[in-house]
Amino acid sequence: MTLFFDENLSFKLPSLVHTHFPGSESVVQAGLAGATDDEVWSYAASRGHAIVTKDADIAHLSVHRVEEVTVVWIRLGNCSTDEIAGRLRAVSQELRAVPSGSLYLLR
């Protein structure tokens, strides 16, 4: 599983989780800073990435879009980049078992 970190999350996250999620990238690294949610969705879908976000709008797209993209919706409240990375590493096996196109709440 590869992760695609939305613009509302640190561009450092792919390097912090690379041992568990190799090939992951951020919106900024992909050259999509300022992109619309639809553009982020299309990019992730074309590469088989799961989108990781704190944005409710992207989470809600999972109901309306035809392309199946797994969305990891971070519901941890105010926390550091290291805390997010640690939580993702802790649930890496669970995330891999999530069916494509699902919405996963990271708490």
CB atoms within 10 A of CB 59: 19
Residue ranges of the alpha helices (H) in the chain? 13-16, 37-47, 56-64, 81-90, 92-96
Residue 66 in this model has a pLDDT that exceeds 80: no
Give dist(CA 72, CA 50) in Å, integer: 7
Distance between terminal CA atoms of the chain? Answer: 19
**pLDDT (mean) for 20-33:** 97
Give dist(CA 103, CA 94) in Å, integer: 13
**Segment 92-107, tens digit of pLDDT:** 999 999 999 999 999 9
Instruction: Please state the pTM of the whole predicted model.
Output: 0.95
